[in-house]
Structure 1
């Protein structure tokens, strides 16, 4: 398995002979509105040309329709013939953007020998959940590959911990920028990411979704410092730079 962090939540995953693009967000730096009044978004440019990001992609997964996960540039640039998996309820809006092969992921699906399972997420807790709307994570499994659990835009809450305990993934990808909507945490922060590592001592955690949006409160250096304070080794919590590739083999 090879994971390449593109920027924010966008990942390019080479897995079992196929290439999957997750949550394409291609907007140029400062081309979208601010969330907090601090800065226009995104805060940084893509490290790779969009054509290179899209090269070889066989499947696109869109976890939800927030603009930092599927933006207007992605709607224009992602080939309309590529198959797309999305959460139930988003399929008609994606089809309306011209995409021909859109499948809502209600439970699990096996595609080219890869099993992709929908997982619940909570984009914050309490009243902010309604404002943020529904989101999903995914588990990805195939013979001879690490079992991957991509959490998506969620805080650390009991259903996530239950999936980890029950399925024991080899690799967990978290969104760890500590973004807030008003006074409410809407994705994991440093403390929750440390707790995630402690809850999954058998897994490698890859922390993403940092240093790209103006409502984030946790930087890569903040998270590394928190991990160091908790005696979590860099091999257990990987914090990739934008454009960085990580290669992992099946652990068990």
Structure 2
């Protein structure tokens, strides 16, 4: 299994001989309005993709399916809708099925509990995109677990903080690899709506044998936590062998 981080939560997962594109935000830097009430007016994404337009086109030609945890603009943008083939299978939460249909996609596979596709079992998990009223306003979010013969079980947690749903997924599926959307995304009021360093440590303590991949960093204007800060805290906790913090464009490889 390979995890190729492009940027933010967008990655290409090579799994069981298939290429899964996860949460595609494919716009060039500055193409999207700032996230409101974030204390700054920086336009998103803050950085370009680590590949050229031609390289991106070639990568997208080899995609077998798309996994979308939810349709906030930093996980599914207009550029993704324009660049991706309309007959690509899209696995999503049921709440987002209609949005993909309106965009012209023809092979939408809403995951209620789990589906099996091309030898891969895709299971949907829950989460909490923040706390209190902010969490409610952020709407429904999901994660996905991929499992297949002779592959590590992979848990893509999605936009969630540490919560009962994440703990349940870790205990139920016992994944060997866990991808966490970190960055401690925060508005000018309220608690973070994505994982902080402490949330990452909760995951590590709950499943010490798992390899953790921290993404969702340094690309959107309300993500406060920097890679260097997270790395420093991970080192202080003695977890540097468990937690990877890939750079944009980096490829990580995992095997049983």
| TM-score, length-scaled by structure 1 | 0.96
How far residue 195 of structure 1 moved from its aligned partner, in angstroms, is 2.0
CA distance in 1, matches of 2:232, 2:82: 39
Q: Is the contact made by 1:21 and 1:59 (CA closer than 8 Å) also made in structure 2? A: yes
Q: Which residue of 1 aligns with 2:18?
A: 18
Quote the offset at 1:53 in angstroms: 3.1
For residues 132-174 of structure 1, give each alpha carbon's deviation from its aligned partner in whole angstroms, at most 9, with x where no partner exists.
0000001000000000011000000112112212321100000
User: Once the 2 structures are TM-superposed, how far is the Cα of residue 112 of structure 1 from its aligned partner?
Assistant: 0.5
1:153 aligns with 159
How many pairs align?
249
**Structure-2 residue corresponding to 1:74:** 80
Aligned to 1:228: 235
- From 194, 201, 214, the equivalent of 1:194 is 201
Partner of 1:59: 65
1:183 Cα deviation from its structure 2 partner: 2.0
The answer on whether the counterparts of 2:25 and 2:73 sit within 8 Å (CA) in structure 1 is yes
Task: Return 5+ residue gaps in structure 2 as ranges.
Answer: none
SS at match of 1:127: helix
Partner residue in 2 for 1:43: 46
Per-residue displacement from partner, 1:185-235 (whole Å, max 9, x unpaired)?
1000111112211221010000000000110110111111111111112x3
Runs of at least 4 residues off by over 6 Å:
none
Q: Is the 8 A contact 2:134 2:190 kept in 1?
A: no
> For 1:86 and 1:168, how far apart are their aligned partners in 2?
22
Answer with 108-117 or 185-194: which moved more: 185-194
Q: Matched residues in 2 for 1:195 and 1:121: separation?
A: 15
Unaligned runs of 5+ in 1: none
Q: CA deviation at 1:101?
A: 0.8
Partner of 1:84: 90
The SS at the match of 2:255 is coil
- TM-superposed CA distance for 1:16, in Å, is 0.5
Q: Equivalent residues in 2 for 1:41-190 (5 A)?
A: 41-48=44-51, 49=53, 50-181=56-187, 182-190=189-197
Alpha-carbon deviation of 1:89?
A: 1.6
TM-score, length basis structure 2:
0.95
Once the two structures are overlaid, the 10-residue window that deviates more, 114-123 or 176-185, is 176-185
CA contact (8 A) 2:11 2:22 kept: yes
C-alpha distance in 1 between matches for 2:204 and 2:193: 19
Q: Secondary structure at the match of 2:224?
A: coil
The one of 204, 211, 215 equivalent to 1:208 is 215
Q: Is the 8 A contact 1:168 1:202 kept in 2?
A: no
